[in-house]
Structure 1
Amino acid sequence: MQTHLVFTVIAKDRPGLVERMADIIAGTGGNWIESSMARLGGEFAGIVRIAIDGMHSDDLVAQLRSLSADGIDITLRSDQEGTDMPQGASAHLDLVSQDHPGILRDITHVLSQKGVSIEHLETEVTSGSMQGEALFKASADLRLPVGLDPADLSEALQETAGDMMADVNLID
């Protein structure tokens, strides 16, 4: 019977990290299904979902955890079979604001109040145009709960964005 494992990885960034994990997964008969990984501040971090025959999952987990001896920390977060199909409409959110503390807190508060799930989020602070002020940018793929009108969510986001002088664009 197939088992689905989800784990996180974090290590000092260096060549060959993904190859080491992929080699272990393939070597134990696992199938790399999906992942999201990035280099942030000199660290390499990611989350990976794989499928493997249940008979081999203990061996796979042991081999992945043995990577800690090389400074590659693996944390198993789930061992559920399969995945639930997402419910509700999808939407995409783009936000740009002059950088200041609390932007993400304020926007995610609105999302949480409306029952919206964040499926993917990327943020960065960049240098602004001519003046060089720091700009906070966020891009998110969202899953709206069944019954939430995207226009209602957009209105709530625009109200919060106005309070912090941010430009928010919700695309459904």
Structure 2
Amino acid sequence: MPDYALLTASGRDRPGIVSAIAGVLLECDCNIEDSQMARLGPSFACMLMIRMPEGLVSQQLSHRLHDVAAQLALRYDVQDLRPEEASETRTEQPKHLIHVYGADRKGIVHRITRHLAEHSVNVTNLHTEVIHHESPLYVMMIEVEVPPCVDVARLQEQLAAIGSDMDIIVSMKPKDDARF
């Protein structure tokens, strides 16, 4: 029996979504160990890695979430995770933050992430936003894991060159250990 589950849910944003989901999880004696939640336009999406109590299986949790999901018009899915899969999120590889700023245009995410993938750099978190002012400003923040075999200084130079080519600013720095 799996010790963990991955719960994903999405729907039109409204107050109470997180509270309702967390309430069902609490009633089922589940613990939220890791999560990402965000509003995107009119929608809200979340991913939660939860530790399941002994005896609870993902189908039972899915059944318990049904009424809340129906009331809030949420689409959701619960997938089993083995303990070793859940621990894969905790890595010892150094983390770095990449910041991108510039005029909004197509292809920025693809060009930067393609270069990262070509160097086996893993994207662990990515956030984009267009800030609408007189001229729209595109902002992207990426958290990455850089394998030891990658020359970080060289990677920074390459990303800066991509930025120059695309007329955007790309910077990279080590991430502090502090989460908040």
- Is there any run of 5+ residues in structure 1 with no aligned partner, and where? none
SS at match of 1:53: coil
Aligned to 1:96: 101
Aligned to 1:154: 156
Aligned to 1:170: 172
**More moved, 84-93 vs 29-38:** 84-93
Aligned to 2:138: 136
Q: Counterparts of 1:117 and 1:148 in 2: how far apart (Å)?
A: 12
Q: Counterparts of 2:66 and 2:95 in 1: how far apart (Å)?
A: 35
Aligned to 1:74: 76
Q: CA deviation at 1:25?
A: 0.6
User: Any idea what the Cα deviations from partners look like across 1:128-161, whole Å, max 9, x if unmatched?
Assistant: 5xxx211111111111123112112112211211
TM-score, structure 2 as length reference: 0.86
Q: Counterparts of 2:14 and 2:130 in 1: how far apart (Å)?
A: 24
User: Any idea what the Cα deviations from partners look like across 1:33-90, whole Å, max 9, x if unmatched?
Assistant: 1211111111111111110124112321221244442311112345222312314211
- Residues 77 and 134 (structure 1 numbering): CA distance in 2 closer, same or farther, change over 3 Å? farther
Q: Work out the number of aligned pairs and report it.
A: 169
TM-score, structure 1 as length reference: 0.89
Let me know the Cα RMSD of the aligned residues: 1.8
* More strand as a share of residues: 1
Segments of 4+ in structure 1 off by > 2 A? 64-70
User: Any idea what the Cα deviations from partners look like across 1:103-137, whole Å, max 9, x if unmatched?
Assistant: 11111111111111111111101135xxx211111
- Indicate the percent of aligned positions where both proteins have the same amino acid: 25
Matches within 5 A, 1:20-169: 20-57=20-57, 58-70=59-71, 71-81=73-83, 82-84=86-88, 85-128=90-133, 132-169=134-171
- Residues 78 and 151 (structure 1 numbering): CA distance in 2 closer, same or farther, change over 3 Å? farther
Q: Counterparts of 1:52 and 1:2 in 2: how far apart (Å)?
A: 8
SS at match of 1:48: strand
- Is there any run of 5+ residues in structure 2 with no aligned partner, and where? 175-180
Q: Are 1:67 and 1:73, in contact at CA under 8 Å, matched by a contact in 2?
A: no
